[in-house]
Amino acid sequence: MRISELSRVTGVPVATVKYYLREGLVPPGRATGATQAQYDDSHVLRLRLARALVQVGGLSVAAARDVLTSLDGAGDSLHRVLGAAHSALPPRIEEDREPTRARSLASSWGWQVHPEAPALRQLEHALRALDDVGASANDERLAQYAEAAHRVAEVDVAGVPTTSPEEAATAVVIGTVLWEPVLLALRRLAQEAVSAESLGRP
Amino acid sequence: MRISELSRVTGVPVATVKYYLREGLVPPGRATGATQAQYDDSHVLRLRLARALVQVGGLSVAAARDVLTSLDGAGDSLHRVLGAAHSALPPRIEEDREPTRARSLASSWGWQVHPEAPALRQLEHALRALDDVGASANDERLAQYAEAAHRVAEVDVAGVPTTSPEEAATAVVIGTVLWEPVLLALRRLAQEAVSAESLGRP
């Protein structure tokens, strides 16, 4: 397909497609003339992923290029794709201290996670914020949260397509970044529903 | 207690306490001299809540004062406190369109929520973002997420103290804002754990 068709199929404006091509987020097409090139389905997938990273993940173009490069190196292991995506996606936690409590919690739940997984620092940071306002998280509530998070994660991982590493990566990026607000909105709605159930409307 | 003691108990610096007093986030103490006043436990609670709103919720001092005022008007109904806190806390969704799908989903799960609940717009907005990247949420995955969110919400609501409206409000604000990053971090950790379980480490 021509660049106009690539733009139409993905909904990404031609100017943005050209920008991503120039910046190396999307590999060049097969040249069919001095100013023309042909693109295929692999470009469609890569373009969707690049857009998801930049517009949804909020990554800079340079950061998105790094992610795409690391995904290319991840081969077809979904586990590695997930790791590369998690490492690249926000939030970036500025946390020097070791995620000691997070590691010990994960291990107490039997979760097999890499000791340097970025989500461990993310969890440690969130737990410290609770400590700071004098509302430290207790292990029981954390275990209940962990159980719910595990159910959600089962749905997430089961939903990742295994057709190609690129489709898997796109699904992981979208699932991580775009399903987070869904989960948070659902939690608040559920809080209202539970509070209505248990306390009744005034 | 004197202002220095109030500062020590809450961990809020004296300069910040004075600022919050001036801005009306914390009610004045009982005057015991031209420049001295006495504070009690109600000031400790209110100060913790004000700090949670500003430092944790990211609200401006003016917005925090609005929340505190609406909480004062909420009386001792936990359901109203929850509503007031949800309306005031981020994210503020700029979304003019009616949250039609979110309402119909909530109703299909038997959730009793106010048709103008801010979380409905939050959900609708998140669903539209998925539509925009061509990865629309299907009802089955949403139902699975909703079930997990409901479990978390049960834990949340059960954990809100009923001792005083102010303590309840503080717990709701902290629970909403500070437990969200915990849940998101746990989801990412669980994704890694599930992916390790189901696919094995390479």
pLDDT in tens, A15-42: 999 999 999 999 999 999 888 899 998 8
CB contact under 8 A, B152 and A141: no
Per the CB < 8 A criterion, the answer to whether B66 and B190 are in contact is no
Question: What does the domain layout of chain A look like in residue ranges?
Answer: 3-199
Could you read off the pLDDT of B146-162 as tens digits, one per residue?
999 999 999 999 888 87
Per the CB < 8 A criterion, the answer to whether A102 and B193 are in contact is no
Share of chain A above pLDDT 70, in %: 95
Most confidently modeled of A150-164, B76-90, B178-192? B178-192
Segments in B28-138 forming alpha helices (H): 41-51, 61-73, 78-88, 100-108, 118-132
Q: Read off the pLDDT band of A202 (50, 70, 90).
A: very low
What's the pLDDT score for residue B202? 43
Q: Which of B145, B154, B162, B170 to mutate to test the interface with A (most CBs of A within 10 A)?
A: B145
Q: Which of A141, A182, A189 sits opposite B113 (nearest CB)?
A: A189
- Between A133 and A185, the higher pLDDT residue: A185
Burial class (CB in 10 A: 0-12, 13-18, 19+), A96: exposed
Query: Does A201 have pLDDT greater than 60?
Result: no
Nearest Cα residue to A189 out of B113, B141, B34: B113
Query: Does B142 have pLDDT greater than 80?
Result: yes
Share of chain B above pLDDT 70, in %: 95
Most confidently modeled of A110-124, A137-151, B40-54? A137-151
What distance in Å separates residue A29's CA from the closest CA in chain B?
22
Q: Which of B77, B178, B181 sits opposite A122 (nearest CB)?
A: B181
Count of residues for chain B?
202
Share of chain B above pLDDT 90, in %: 47
For the residues A160-182, what does the mean pLDDT come to?
82
Q: Which of B186, B198, B199, B201 to mutate to test the interface with A (most CBs of A within 10 A)?
A: B186
Per the CB < 8 A criterion, the answer to whether A125 and B181 are in contact is yes
**Rounded (5°) CA angle B33-B26-B91:** 165
Token pair 């190196």 is found at: A73
Query: Does B105 have pLDDT greater than 60?
Result: yes
What's the pLDDT score for residue B73? 66
Give chain A positions within 8 Å (CB) of B112.
Answer: 192-193, 196-197, 201
Query: Does B7 have pLDDT greater than 80?
Result: yes
Q: How many CA atoms lie within 13 A of A103 on its CB side?
A: 9
Whole-angstrom distance, CA of residue B120 vs CA of residue B129: 14
Residue A154 region by backbone torsions, left for phi larger than 0, else alpha for psi between -120 and 50, else beta: alpha
| Cβ neighbours of residue B62 closer than 8 Å, sequence gap 6 or more | B23
What's the pLDDT score for residue B81? 74
Q: Which of A48, A80, A135 sits opposite B134 (nearest CB)?
A: A48
Could you read off the pLDDT of B25-61 as tens digits, one per residue?
999 999 998 888 999 988 998 898 888 778 777 788 9
Segments in A11-162 forming alpha helices (H): 14-22, 41-51, 61-73, 78-88, 100-108, 118-132, 139-158
Query: Does A77 have pLDDT greater than 80?
Result: no
What's the pLDDT score for residue A191? 93
Query: Does A94 have pLDDT greater than 90?
Result: no
Nearest Cα residue to B3 out of B37, B26, B45, B48: B37
CB contact under 8 A, B106 and A195: no
Query: What is the separation of C-alpha B43 from the centre of its chain, rounded to a whole number of angstroms?
Result: 20
Q: At what angle do helices B165-199 and B139-158 cross, to 10 degrees?
A: 140
Give chain A positions within 8 Å (CB) of B171.
Answer: 135
CB contact under 8 A, B111 and A151: no
